Amino acid sequence: MSAPLYQLQNEFERFRPIWLAAGAKVRHYAEGDIIYPLHTAWQTVSYIDEGLVHASIRQGEKEKLVAAYGRGMLMPFSAPESVPISHRIQFSAATDVVAWEISTDAFQRLLKDADFNQQMMTAMWQLIHLLLHEVQSLSFDTGLERVASFLYTYFENTGRDCLEIGTGDLQAYIGLNRSNLNKYLAVLVHDKIIRKQRGSIRILSPTKLRTYCAPRIIECSLVSIADTQLGQLDNQEKWQAIRQRDASYDGTFWYGVRSTGIYCVPSCKSRLPGKENIVFFSTPEEAEAAGFRPCKRCRPDIAQYQPNQQFLLHVKSLIDHQFDDPMLLRETLGSLPVTVRHLNRLFKLKFHQTIHAYLMDKRLQAAAEKLCHTDESVVTIALASGFHSMSSFYTNFKRAYGMPPQQYRQKKRN
């Protein structure tokens, strides 16, 4: 399973009896009610018996959702008065909620139970991991990666192919404006990866969705997707792609045939193998490590024949690390074993952006970050972000953020 999982539930389900024994009071909240407001020292801790609660950080009229707490979760986690950051989080009812409330003194007594204390530590670290992911996501991921990663981690961790969430809440989780969010959702809808309905998003192709995620989402997988309910859906989808010889799946997975010992891409025109003889792989290297040899017909081991996923992730990583040095980047990309034109075609096929557009996004994101967190001049920031033309920087920055750099800096600091 991948981390993070934004919808948390059942972590404290087995402690219901001792919670009730601690003298809990039943509280009812209507959808939209504030349960624990900002800037308030918490005097109680509640166990959620029914409903869904949003944990969020607010600044003025803006809200950033951190996680959704369901049945069997505690809110808030008790923290010492010397940790004021805890009071920056607001808990509000996303649906009608029934909660069992006890005082913090009673809660401290519960912490003397070793089992309960261990679960508290586990839940706290789960939240810390989630927040660390947020920092990485906002710092390094493109908008499309953020959308895909959010959807994929939910589906992989829950095994459910339908996420009940409105556009407003999804926007508040991911941190994109409505226009950009809709643009990236439209990409996934166009490629028949998701189906968007009012108040919900249904995943149609987990295999393809996975290829749009940030690389670390795939790398931090804790168990094989094949061991989950979603894995069964995933394998059925792959089998259909092989039957239909669907080239749109090439580069998302490879399959080996036990009876022949060869591995192929989904679109291979060779004779269709029996379903019982097929084993799936994420990379050609994985197939070869398992003892399979490449098919001579579809040549799944050669990037020029097949837009290799790992090759394109490598190209993307090069851009991520060299976007601020145009000369070095040009030299690096020119040394790759494909023509620039062919590389651009493959890159756009996978990431739905040209290399130039992706490079511009990275430079603008770096510039925006420096404008917010340093006192360097606009010229210095533009040059350090990889721009050699101030007119190009001003034009592209205003197009992306709707205002000139100085105005953006002033607005963010205010």
Residues noted as catalytic: 264
- Tell me the C-alpha distance between 23 and 308, whole Å: 60
Distances (CA, A) of 18 to 10, 11, 24, 50: 15, 14, 10, 18
Residues 75 and 55: beta-carbon distance below 8 Å: yes
SS3 content of the chain, % helix, strand, coil (to 5): 50, 15, 35
DSSP codes, 74-130:
EESPP--TT-GGGGGEEEEESS-EEEEEEEHHHHHHHTTSHHHHHHHHHHHHHHHHH
Residues 27 and 101: beta-carbon distance below 8 Å: yes
Distances (CA, A) of 119 to 7, 12, 50, 113: 17, 7, 20, 10
Within 13 A of 261's CA, how many CA atoms are on the CB side?
2
Neighbours of 152 (CB within 10 A): 23
Q: Which residues pair with 93 in a beta bridge?
A: 53
Which residue in this structure is represented by tokens 């009610």?
33
* Nearest C-alpha neighbor of 306 from the set 272, 336, 264: 264
- Tell me the C-alpha distance between 217 and 222, whole Å: 10
Residue 61 is given by DSSP the state T
Query: Per the omega criterion (within 30 degrees of 0), is the bond before 4 cis?
Result: yes
